[in-house]
Amino acid sequence: MSTWLEERGQRSQTAPVHVFQSVDRAYCDAMDMAVELRSFLSSARYAEQKNTQAEAETAYVVETMRMSVRIMHVIAWALARKAVAAGELSEKEAHAAAYRLGDRETCLAQKDQSLSVLSPPTQDLSVRSRGLYQRALRLEAMMENGYGGDGETRAALGSKGEGRMGVHAMWDEIARSERGGDPKSARQTRTKKSASGHIPDALFLI
C-alpha cells in the first residue's frame, strides 16, 4: 500500500524520507488510538463503575481527558507535517505555536498514585497515549534545527546535555518510548521488523 508521500510524489527537503514515514506512522497510530479510546469510553467503563469513590471518578475523568488531549495533539501535529511534505505549508509556518505539539506539561504528566484506582485497561491506554505523544515530540525535535530540537522541546524531553543529540540516539529514544524496550537492542528490533514492513528500509540510511 502506498504511503501519502508516494501518492503526493513530493516532500519537504528539510528531513529524510524515513522521518516523514515515521510521522505518517505516528498519525496512523494516533487515529487508531482515537478510535480505540472512543470505543473504550462508550463501552468499557465497567471497572470504574464498580468503584464509587469520588477519587476514582475524578481520576477517571481527568485521565481520559488527558488521553484525548495527547491523541488530538499528535493528530493535528502530524497533519501539519503532512501539509509541509505536500508543499501546502512552509517550514516557517509549521514552526508556529499553532502547528507544534502543545499542552506539554499536561500531556507529559507522570503517572501518579491516582491512576492506581483505575482499571488496568484505563491505565494501559494512559501509558500508551503518553508514549505516543513522547514519540511525536521526539520526531518534532528531529525535524527542527538540524535534528537537535529547540530548547523548549529538549527541556520537555528532559535533556540535560547541550548541543545536538545524535540521530541514532534520537531513534533509540523513539524506539524505547514506543515499545518500552532496551535502547541497546533498538536497532536489532528495527532490523527484525523491517522485513515485515513495520519499519521502512530507508531507516537504515541514517
pLDDT at 15: 56
Residue 156 lies in a domain: yes
Alpha helices in 44-166 (DSSP H): 46-49, 54-85, 91-94, 104-107, 120-143, 151-157
Q: Evaluate whether 91 touches 84 at the Cβ level (below 8 Å).
A: yes
CATH code of residue 45: 1.10.8.930
Which domain range does residue 117 map to? 15-164
Closest by CA position to 62, among listed 122, 4, 104, 140? 122
DSSP state of 88: S
pLDDT at 41: 86
Domain tally, the chain: 1
pLDDT at 92: 85
pLDDT in tens, the chain (206 residues): 444 444 444 444 445 667 778 889 999 999 999 999 998 888 755 555 555 577 778 888 889 999 999 999 999 999 999 888 888 888 888 888 888 998 888 898 876 667 788 888 888 999 999 999 999 999 888 887 654 444 555 455 454 333 333 444 444 554 454 455 444 444 443 334 433 333 333 232 22
The values of phi and psi at residue 36, to 5°, are: -60, -45
Residue 75 lies in a domain: yes
The count of other CB atoms within 10 Å of the CB of residue 32 is: 12
Residue 71 lies in a domain: yes
Residues near 52 by Cβ (< 8 Å), separated by ≥ 6?
Answer: none
Grid cell locating 156? 520537555
| pLDDT tens-digit readout, 54-80 | 777 888 888 999 999 999 999 999 999
Residue 137 lies in a domain: yes
